[in-house]
Amino acid sequence: MANNPSSKKRAKQEIVRRAHNTSLRSRVYTQLKKARNAILAGKTDLAKTEVTAAFSEIDSMVPKGIFHKNKAARLKSRLNASLKKLVLPS
């Protein structure tokens, strides 16, 4: 429990920061969901645009510290692999 004024302030700041980070993370996951749904629906053009938008969202979260760079790379790699399966069926 925060006892002195500075620790009380830090606790309040952390609540605000956590809410902001959660909303940013949610934006990324929403964009990923849109991209995956477009891929599953088989809509190639829509899937490409959604994947590009998802890549942009993911990349913008790394410098902010929302995602680690390796997690961002993993998300992008898996999304790109599923897009390639749609575009280039084997």
- What number of residues does the chain have? 90
Q: Who has greater pLDDT, 2 or 78?
A: 78
Q: Which residue has the tokens 């942009």?
A: 56
Tokens of 18: 């956590």
CB-count exposure of residue 11 (10 Å: 0-12, 13-18, 19+): exposed
28, 58 Cβ separation under 8 angstroms: yes
Residue 13 is predicted with a pLDDT of 97
CATH class of the domain at 11-87: mainly alpha
Distance CA 55, CA 76 (A): 6
Could you read off the pLDDT of 25-80 as tens digits, one per residue?
999 999 999 999 999 999 999 999 999 999 999 999 999 999 999 999 999 999 99
Residue 28 is predicted with a pLDDT of 97
Residue 37 is predicted with a pLDDT of 96
Residue 1 is predicted with a pLDDT of 79
| pLDDT at position 89 over 80 | no
